[in-house]
Amino acid sequence: MKDSAERLSRLSERELYEELGLQLSGQAILPISRERLVEEARHWFREQKDRLRPAVCGDSKIRELMCDRSNSRRRVLLILAVADVIAGFFTGVSPFVVAALLVREGLSSFCRDIWH
């Protein structure tokens, strides 16, 4: 798990969307372009955010990690913590990829309404 979180923490936002798109497409009969994968992943991710927000933003461990700016491994730890919270939300999609996208986009803005 830690290795997966470390690898994902180094990917760009586009690479994370490509990975999510591949997971969402499963065993597609026809080949799907990278652009289409990213587009479908972005749409799916936008649709999931409202469902995830209360669980992610209400978690005390995530909030504690967000406040600890001195930890050099904070991004990886946040991915692990978010993945742990959302693990039961999806099937067929890695919670680590979704967690990495949330962390990459910024938990402060994602949780703004709940944390302030």
Model pLDDT for residues 25-57, shown as the tens digit of each residue: 876 656 788 899 999 999 999 999 999 999 999
- The whole-number pLDDT of residue 69 equals 82
Please choose, from the candidates 110, 92, 106, the residue with its C-alpha nearest in 3D space to the C-alpha of residue 50.
110
The angle subtended at Cα 60 by Cα 46 and Cα 69, nearest 5°, is 85
Q: Which band of pLDDT confidence, cut at 50, 70 and 90, is reported for residue 70?
A: confident
- Give dist(CA 86, CA 75) in Å, integer: 16
**What residue numbers bound the domain in which 49 lies?**
2-115
**How many domains does the structure of the chain reveal?**
1
Contact (CB, 8 A) for 98 and 86: yes
Among 5-9, 53-57, 90-94, 109-113, whose mean pLDDT is lowest? 90-94
In terms of pTM, does the model score above 0.85? Answer: yes
Phi, psi at residue 94, to the nearest 5°? -70, 125
- The whole-number pLDDT of residue 82 equals 96
